[in-house]
Chain A
Amino acid sequence: MTKKDQDLINRIANGARAGRISRRDFMSYSAAAGLATAGATSLWTSSAKAAPQAGGTFRWGVHDGNTGDTHDPGSYLTRTMIFLAHTHRSYLTMINGDNTLGPDLAESWEASADASEWTFRLNPNATFHLAGRPVVADDVIASLNHHRGEGTTSSAAPLVADVVDITKVDDHTVKVTLSGGNADFPWIMTAYQFAICPANEDGSIDWQSGDGSGPYKIDSGEFGVQFALSRHDGWHGEGAWFDKVELITLNDANARQTALVTGDVDAISQIDLKTMALMGRDPNLQLFNVPSGAAITLPMLTDTAPFDNVDVRNALKLSIDRDEMIEKIMFGAATKGNDFHHSPAQPYWPDDIPQREYDPDQAKALLKKAGAEGLTVNLSTADSVTSGAVDMAVLYAEHAKAAGITINVVREPSDGYYSDVWLKKPWCLVSWGSRPTPDMMYTLAYKSDAAWNESRWQNERFNELLLQGKGELDDSVRAEIYREMAILARDDGGTVIPFFNNFVYGARANVGTPENLAASWENDGARAASRWWFTG
């Protein structure tokens, strides 16, 4: 091996150690440098990700926080609180780096044959920071009941609406009874609202104290400003390499990115797409571009003319140039949508459904069939929906011109958009956060009687399949069910889904990360504090 090759291999090994190179890239670079596969494999395991180091203070800039935030899990709203919750509290289950389901507080769980009874066995090593006692069944029961029952103000109430009863089997075992089968119930338990808090005597929870059983405990903090945390010794999970974590709310994109460039913070949760390319050139930084389940949707009210005609709906779906939209609005940081709300980052994604492309001629033909040539429709949007939301609607209007469709872009006030425009105006632009499974997404926004059925779409077969898939524990049967549902939504549904937006975030070059980054939230599923480390 020449000196040059050795230099190259050292560089690659350093890159691997710093987490900048994936295993696959590492192998191909090593082969290019003349290293045999066996040698490369052992170099990978010895130098790379294998050995995270402990220590340091992780300063973490988060893009969304408000001085009106609260520790009440039912009222979590901002990213800062969601990230904080994943850092100082625990959940029954968690989404792993590779987007599979893994244990958090519950070390194991099992379902009855019809998936309507779930038993969770708690990890006996889990303890609360302030209360200083183990996490027991009563805490889990109280924490879940916080989102149930009359008069709950929790935003997670719909997620546990089908829970009939939660009982204690023994101190470390909880049984949840559902009104029907739900194979996704352990996935639902990863929702950010289901943080486990210590129970009070009366069965309510003590959320006010900010106590939790997560990897880090809160030392001090001010809502909308920053939180200082230190490692919770004896945490029940694996990881938590940093000694201390500082979670800093940095709402202003410019301030946030400058702070990362100057080294005032070690990682940030969002990078402005417009400056993504510039940031990527800085050798002191690493950027992450992670496909997610978050989507931009354009629901048409399918019970309102002209959207009550499926040909009109499909004509509109054919009149959008998704590639140009991703390139111009998202600067490439998005995954192409196919008009069904199921992203490649979610389980059971059907990869064999033909992609719907931009085809104004076919759209014209469909409109002619529907007797709606020269169609004029209004599209409501507001800047607050997503960055570039108005530009996106204007671009769509340009694309649709080729099909003879006039789209009037209506700019609505950002304030109260989700109470006055969404679910009310016949066609609008909506931003959806990521849901871990297709069932959760479809149940939330596509089921015929869902409160948020944003297109008011009624399809008997779809709803039948949804119910069937919910209680099905066999993975291959489920995959087939979700495939058929995707085709129904794509060809009959009322929602245009141009793309799933990627999470784009960044860190200093000396931050080490695992090979796979969870796609549930930014910064490795909001768990960067317990999964990342400093490489030096």
Chain B
Amino acid sequence: MGDLLTLVAKRLGYGLLTLLVVSILIFFAVELLPGDTAQAILGQSATPDTVAALREELGLNQPAYIRYFDWLFGAIRGDLGVSAIPPHQPVISVIGPRFTHTLFLAAYAAVIAVPVAISLGVIVALLRNTVFDRVANVLTLTSISSPEFFLGYILILIFAVKIPIFPALATVPTDVSFGELLYRTFLPALTLVLVVTAHMMRMTRAAIINLLASPYIEMARLKGVPPWKVIVKHALPNAWAPIINVVALNLAYLVTGVVLVEVVFVYPGVGQLLVDAVSKRNFPVVQAVSLIFAATFILLNLAADVGSILTNPRLRHPK
């Protein structure tokens, strides 16, 4: 177990370094974009005088590296700064509610997608090369091959326009019940489910089929264990490592890749916030959202590695 803790600590250290590099890249990428916050705020109606006054007010006259280090030292102390746009709310309070929405939608989709994908994977491995296997593969591969926004539009067309049972807009008022919330966000969650299911299902299927050629599976079969038990009791435990990795990857995708789904359903998540912040050159918000995304990837990958170790006795008890 001590080794595991060392591993986690080491990986977290690398993770922090990665975040630092990401923050530098983001900062200079935003700097490279034409125009600055003052011009973006004033838009077409900017005059040299008002732009200059706004730059002064926003502190944009300082050199780029000084602004970066100002931000960095703040961030190290846990202060992510204030939004670059008046009335300068703290970044945390700008991102907080939107990120909660994104996490909610991602969790909603994950709670449906992960059990469905893994059970489907087990079933198609059991029934491999049958009609069911083929149909499940074709359907999931079709849904993963279509862009999210297209899937979203198809779902809206079917379930909001032709058979009006779900709302086309997922804009959620603040004071609705949990059931109402689930109902209103069902179509975007379903879109995400369709997008991530195929990957997890096919990995489960492949990992299990791969193991079915192993001698110990043959042994189990020879002693008369029924096929479903062979898979669930003997093959699956050894297949967890790759499955967990794919699940982690897809969970990270659910958090970071929902921008298009948010746009289609007008869902107030963090993706739209990021797009708006980039267009306004609102650097502190861009930086914070990007770091949250990067941290999500790092943490979920770490969780996947820890998970694979914990499910593998040989790694759990090294000689």
Contacts and interface: CB of A to CB of B under 8 A. Distances in A.
Contacts of B277: 67-68
A258 B167 contact: no
B41 interface: yes
Given A222-B97, A419-B35, A75 B171 contact: no
Contacts of B45: 155-156
A418 B75 CA distance: 33
Contact of A415 (B35, B50, B264): B35
Consensus secondary structure, chain B interface: helix
Contacts of A415: 33-35, 279
A264 B42 contact: no
Contact of A262 (B34, B53, B86, B161): B161
A70 B43 contact: no
Interface string B144-180: 0000000001001000110010011101011000000
Given A254-B153, A254-B264, A224 B272 contact: yes
Contacts of A265: 169
Contacts of B3: none
B87 A208 contact: yes
Contacts of A419: 34-35, 39, 46
A158 interface: yes
B266 interface: yes
Contact of A157 (B50, B85, B97, B264): B50
A151 B265 contact: no
Nearest to A157: B50
A8 B54 CA distance: 61
Interface string B64-89: 00000000000000000001011100
A157 B47 contact: yes
B114 interface: no
A452 B44 CA distance: 10
A161 to B, nearest CB: 10
B83 A420 contact: no
B59 interface: no
A402 interface: no
A413 B168 contact: no
Q: Which of A71, A250, A255 has the most CB of B within 10 A?
A: A255
Contact of A67 (B42, B44, B276): B276
B168 A154 contact: no
A248 B86 contact: no
Contacts of A77: 41-43
B205 interface: no
Given A77-B43, A251-B263, A420-B35, A153 B168 contact: no
A152 B34 contact: no
Contacts of B121: none
Contacts of B53: 151-153
A228 B48 CA distance: 36
Contact of A264 (B168, B263, B276): B168
Interface residues of B, number: 48
B31 interface: no
Contacts of A68: 41, 83, 85, 276-277, 280, 282
Interface residues of A, number: 45
B34 A222 contact: no
A353 interface: no
Interface in A208-252: 208, 220, 222, 224-226, 228, 248-252
Contacts of B273: 67, 224
Q: Which of A66, A451, A452 has the most CB of B within 10 A?
A: A66
A155 B169 contact: no
B48 A451 contact: yes
B218 interface: no
B39 A416 contact: yes
Interface string A77-94: 100000000000000000
B35 A416 contact: yes
A419 B40 CA distance: 9
A67 B265 contact: no
Interface in A378-397: none
B280 A252 contact: no
A261 interface: yes
Interface string A147-182: 000011111111000000000000000000000000
Contacts of B164: 262
A72 interface: yes
A444 to B, nearest CB: 10
Given A152-B50, A413-B34, A222 B268 contact: yes
A451 B34 contact: no
Top 5 A-B pairs, shortest CB-CB distance: A416-B34, A416-B35, A155-B45, A67-B276, A68-B280
Given A262-B168, A416-B39, A451-B47, 10 more contacts: A67-B94, A155-B50, A224-B268, A224-B276, A249-B266, A251-B263, A255-B169, A255-B266, A415-B34, A418-B39
